[in-house]
């Protein structure tokens, strides 16, 4: 059996996906690496709101950063994050059919 601590950590992990804005950002980053301004424009949100959510996603190790001069680019942290998104979408699409 999995430990209580791991169960709490798993629940906290999935809470991150409970916010539509964060899921939108993750989905955008699944398509390509983007800077805050690009994410903001793509989602029609303020830079401040996007930055706030990116902070949460970074602390949860779901996104990573790469600096190019003064610009910071964001991407999904690894293939696990991509798989979680794609499996969730696939599951929901199956339910609709």
User: Tens digit of pLDDT for each residue in 2-49?
Assistant: 999 999 999 999 999 999 999 999 999 999 999 999 999 999 999 999
Residue 71 clears pLDDT 90, i.e. is over it: yes
Give pLDDT, residue 35.
98
Residue 1 has pLDDT above 90, yes or no: no
3-class SS at 65?
strand
Q: Which domains, from first to last, does the chain contain? A: 4-95 (1.10.10.10)
- Angle subtended at Cα 65 by Cα 80 and Cα 30, rounded to the nearest 5 degrees: 45
* pLDDT score for 37: 98
Distance CA 65, CA 74 (A): 5
């Amino acid at each position: 059996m999995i430990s209580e601590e791991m169960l709490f950590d798993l629940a906290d992990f999935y809470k991150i996906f409970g916010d539509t804005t964060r899921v939108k950002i993750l989905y955008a980053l699944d398509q390509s690496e983007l800077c805050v301004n690009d994410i903001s424009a793509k989602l029609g949100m303020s830079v401040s709101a996007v930055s706030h959510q990116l902070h949460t996603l970074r602390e949860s190790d779901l996104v990573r950063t790469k600096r190019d001069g003064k610009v910071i680019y964001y991407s999904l942290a690894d293939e696990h994050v991509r798989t979680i998104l794609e499996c969730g979408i696939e599951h929901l699409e199956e339910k609709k059919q």
